[in-house]
């Protein structure tokens, strides 16, 4: 019982320090700014592009072929939040970019589409036979 009473102040000190550390971590997380543009891969050739536009500025989402800067997809809006689910399966091999413009800010995500041929070797079963001398 005496050792428990002697350790009680130490336990309180450790608990107080731990709670301060957790409170600071939670505060840091809540003060972090959300990302204005997010691109998630939701399928083999499908991407979800989401854009936060809190000031309702002119926003634009494009898919651009980088070889010649051709705009293959263009969406213009001034909504608070906007985006698109983009399927790029039918695009030929090459380098592309998702370009998001909100006001004067421009965010680019590059995308490399290329076809690969897989070559594999597989070892079959092993059989052993004894040869006569």
CA gap 65, 97 in Å, rounded = 7
Residue 100 neighbours by CB under 8 Å, 6+ apart? 37, 49, 51, 59, 60, 61, 62, 106, 107, 108
| Domains by residue range for the chain, with CATH | 37-113 (2.60.40.10)
Q: Is the pLDDT of residue 16 over 50?
A: no
CA gap 74, 64 in Å, rounded = 9
For the stretch 68-85, pLDDT in tens is 999 999 999 999 999 999
Token pair listed for 47: 């991407």
Q: Is the pLDDT of residue 111 over 60?
A: yes
For the stretch 90-99, pLDDT in tens is 999 999 999 9
CA gap 13, 29 in Å, rounded = 25
């Amino acid at each position: 019982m005496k050792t428990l009473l002697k350790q009680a102040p130490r336990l309180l000190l450790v608990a107080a320090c731990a709670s301060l550390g957790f409170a600071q971590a939670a505060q840091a997380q809540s003060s972090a700014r959300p990302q204005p543009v997010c691109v998630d891969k939701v399928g083999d050739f499908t991407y979800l592009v989401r854009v936060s536009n809190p000031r309702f500025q002119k926003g634009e989402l494009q898919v651009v072929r980088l070889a010649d800067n051709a705009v293959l997809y263009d969406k213009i809006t001034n909504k608070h939040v906007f985006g698109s689910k983009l399927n790029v399966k039918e695009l030929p091999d090459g380098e592309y970019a998702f370009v998001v413009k909100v006001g004067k800010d421009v965010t680019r995500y590059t995308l490399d589409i290329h076809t690969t041929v897989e070559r594999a070797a597989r070892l079959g079963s092993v059989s052993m036979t004894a040869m006569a001398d």
